Chains A and B, each alone.
Chain A
Amino acid sequence: MLRLENISKTFNPGTVNEKKALSGLNLHVKKGDFVTIIGSNGAGKSTLFNAISGGFYVDEGSVILGGRDITFVPEYKRSQSIGRLFQDPLKGTAPHMTIEENLALAYLRADKKKAPLSRISKKDKEMFREKLSLLEMGLEDRMTQPVGLLSGGQRQALTLLMATYVIPDILLLDEHTAALDPGTAAKVLELTESIVAENGITCMMVTHNMNQALQLGNRTLMMADGNIVLDIEGEERAGMTVTDLLDRFKNGAGHEMNNDRILLS
């Protein structure tokens, strides 16, 4: 589904702030894969997601999604087939617009041909209501309220719904539960799992929770210094503990894992 071939990205080249964020990274994600990603601070996890979603163009290499070379396709066009959630729950929704207006925007991705001057129809509203009820947060009865009134968890759940309203070729989750309180985080994660499983969505998720990284999905990547140092799946992954993972990381990266948040969690 997703193929990254030898991609590199250097920020601020030729200055004192030069930072090689990705260096010759190769990755092949198969259709239906649920990949969890962990790594040190500044290992390039978010940069990897930006390279896939088009936040910048890579310096070298190519990005191929669903058999199409999208290396130089602008971000907004890639969004048609890429769903994305950020750590900040405020990033995925428009606060001054109502819940149904936000959903209508997500729905735009579905039907590019739909007349640009058409309005939200009754049928659309019923469909939105049905989808919202799946979240079990009571949002279906607040459809005309501005999104700014929702809690972070509710907004993130809504963003999740919007990102998967049209089934994307790949769903990128960048620590999307990290800014939520533990209870809400568990709820959003549960929703994520069920939506991903039900629709067989190909998914990549960055997390700083090692247990989560091993429990969720079918494949785990560890990143360090702009590259993938460990890629495990199947039986090898099934029998792995967090301690094993840290050992393997040290062997792969040549240094200890240094992610303050991982150590604290």
Chain B
Amino acid sequence: MLYIAQTALELGFVYALIPMALFLSYRVLDIADLTTDGDFVLGMAVSVSLAAAGHPFLALPAAMIAGALAGFVTAFLQTRLGVPSILAGIVTNTGLYTVNLMVMGWSSNVNLLKQETIFSLFRGTGIGGAWYELIIVAVITLLAAVILIWFLNTRIGLSIRATGDNKDMVQASSINPGFTISLGLMIANALTALCGAVVGQMQKSADINSGTGIVVVGLACLIIGETVLGRKSIPRNVFAVIVGSVIYRFIYAIVLKTQIVPIECLKLVTAFIVGLAIAMPTIKGRYLLEKQKAAAKRRKGGLK
């Protein structure tokens, strides 16, 4: 049981970087950025390839830069070339498949056998005992969260937030929305790639298909976090994604253990829950309208 909790915490923390990235793109900038799946693999591919070459530390910033570049391509497509934002993400995502294969030396799978990773190096220091993996991922994710919160309250961060909140106003404040969208998406995708980079070194392998559906899981974590902690302030929102991610991984672990739902069906279940959660306001509105209609009908009936 403890083992399950430990694994869920580890995965919850490391994968929290995805909903954190989605918080920035989907909630703050109000853009559905679908670069995520391919971008995650890109980070993983860069990280594992560099670790294989003996640079496990350099691997993380390198993966983030690669992710930021992917984000820039998506942003460039939508801000300069007028490609609708969802399509821009899909186009980049598709292109990334080839790029990722290239990074991995045209192979669909790269493994780290004896090479050092940040995890193996940290394990060598003996700090944290059996919990060393959790310590690393928690530090990385919390650091990213603190920096993101700090950043969103700087002048440039305020400009990015305003871009998603009221684009007219941003133009009138002499801020170039093309610039703020690009910067926001670059940061979001750097976070996604960082997630891939850490996961890659943790599991000591990179697989070309490991990113499939990760954007939906990320959205699920984002929504779980918001449901639990609400959407009140930036710090709260950012920490909510970590909470959401940990909860999701606990649910995942329990399902895995108890087999309530066959594990092969988990993606379908996740997709269903995410679809439902995002549709909730509309469903609620519809329900209220029907209730109102029924009440009006009753009143009319009473008049006869």
A binding-site residues for B, Cβ under 8 Å: 74-77, 79-80, 83-84, 86, 90-97, 101-102, 104-106, 108-109, 112, 114-120, 162-163
Within the assembled complex, what's the spacing in Å between the Cα atoms of A161 and B159?
18
- Asked if A116 and B155 sit within 8 Å, CB to CB, the answer is yes
Do A101 and B158 touch across chains, with their CB atoms under 8 A apart? yes
Expressed in whole angstroms, the minimum distance between the Cβ of A46 and any Cβ of chain B is 13
A-B residue pairs in contact (CB < 8 Å), sample of 10: A77-B174, A80-B174, A95-B166, A96-B161, A101-B161, A105-B170, A105-B173, A108-B174, A118-B155, A119-B154
Judge whether B177 and A116 touch: CB under 8 Å.
Answer: no
Q: How far is the CA of A83 from the CA of B173 in the complex (A)?
A: 9
Question: Do A108 and B159 have beta carbons less than 8 Å apart?
Answer: yes
* B171 within 8 A of partner (CB): yes
Residues of A within 8 A of B172 (CB): 79, 83-84, 92, 163
Main DSSP-derived SS at the A contact region? loop
Beyond A101-B161, A101-B162: 19 further Cβ-contacts under 8 Å? A74-B176, A76-B170, A76-B171, A76-B175, A76-B177, A79-B173, A80-B174, A90-B166, A91-B166, A94-B162, A97-B165, A101-B158, A105-B170, A106-B173, A108-B173, A109-B173, A112-B174, A117-B154, A119-B155
Residues on B with beta carbons closer than 8 Å to the beta carbon of A106: 173
Residue of B nearest to A92 (CB): B169
Q: B: which residues have CB within 8 A of A?
A: 151, 153-156, 158-159, 161-162, 165-166, 168-177
Residues in B neighbouring A120, C-beta threshold 8 A: 153
Q: Are A96 and B165 in contact (CB under 8 A)?
A: yes
A108 touches B175 (CB 8 A): yes
Contact A76 B174 (CB under 8 A): yes
B165–A94 CB distance below 8 A? yes
- Minimum distance in angstroms from B281 CB to a CB of chain A: 16
Residue of A nearest to B179 (CB): A76
Chain B residues with CB under 8 A of A76? 170-171, 174-177
Contacting residues, chain B, for A163 (C-beta < 8 A): 172
Complex Cα gap A118–B162 (Å): 16
**Residue of B151, B154, B158, B176 ringed by the most chain A CB atoms within 10 A:** B158
Contact between chains at A119 and B153 (CB < 8 Å): yes
Please, which residues of chain B bring their CB within 8 A of the CB of A79?
171-174
Q: Which residue of chain B lies nearest to A114 when distances are taken between CB atoms in the complex?
A: B155
B171 and A104 contacting across the interface, CB-CB below 8 Å: no
Chain B residues with Cβ under 8 A from A114's Cβ? 155
Contacts of A162 in B (CB 8 A): 173
Smallest beta-carbon distance A149→chain B, Å: 13
A72 to B38, CA, bound (A): 38
User: Considering only CB atoms, which chain A residue lies closest to B175 in the complex?
Assistant: A76
| A75 → B minimal CB distance (Å) | 5
Q: Which of B158, B165, B176 contacts A104 (CB 8 A)?
A: B158
Contact B154 A105 (CB under 8 A): no
Contact check, A94 vs B161: say whether CB atoms are below 8 A apart.
yes
Which residue from B151, B159, B168, B176 sits with its C-beta under 8 Å from A105? Answer: B159
Point out the residue from A74, A77, A91, A117 that lies within 8 Å of B169, measured CB to CB.
A91
Complex Cα–Cα for A91 and B167 (A): 9
Q: List, in ascending order, chain A residues with CB within 8 A of B169's CB.
A: 91-94, 105
Q: Which residue of the partner chain, among A74, A80, A83, A105, contacts B162 with CB atoms under 8 Å?
A: A105
CB-CB < 8 A to A105: which residues of B? 158-159, 162, 169-170, 173, 175
Give bound CA distance, A117 to B174, whole Å.
17
* Closest chain B CB from A148 CB (angstroms): 9
| Cα distance, A116 to B153, chains bound together (Å) | 11
Known: A94-B165, A108-B175. A117 touches B158 (CB 8 A): no
Chain B residues within an 8 Å CB radius of A118: 154-155
Q: Which residues of A are found within 8 Å of B165, using beta-carbon distances?
A: 94-97
> With a CB–CB cut-off of 8 A, which chain B residues contact A95?
165-166
B158 / chain A contacts, CB cutoff of 8 Å: 97, 101, 104-105
Could you say which residues of chain A place their CB within 8 Å of the CB of B151?
A: 117
CB distance from B163 to the nearest CB of A (A): 9
Among B153, B155, B159, B170, which residue has the most Cβ atoms of chain A within 10 A?
B155
Give bound CA distance, A96 to B164, whole Å. 10
- Which A residue's beta carbon lies closest to that of B154? A117
CA distance A106 to B175 in the complex (A): 10
Give the complex CA separation of A120 and B156 in angstroms.
11
Kindly report which residue of chain A lies nearest to residue B156, judged by CB atoms. Answer: A116
**Closest Cβ neighbor of A78 among chain B residues:** B174
Chain B, residue nearest A80 (CB): B174
Q: When chains A and B are docked, how far (Å) is the Cα of A117 from the Cα of B160?
A: 12
Q: How far is the CB of B159 from chain A (nearest CB, A)?
A: 7
Taking the closest CB of chain A, its distance from the CB of B199, in whole angstroms, is: 29
List the B side residues contacting A116 at CB < 8 Å. 154-156
**Min distance, Cβ B24 to any Cβ of chain A, angstroms:** 14
> How far is B158's CA from A93's CA once the two chains are assembled, in angstroms?
13
Residues of B within 8 A of A109 (CB): 173-174
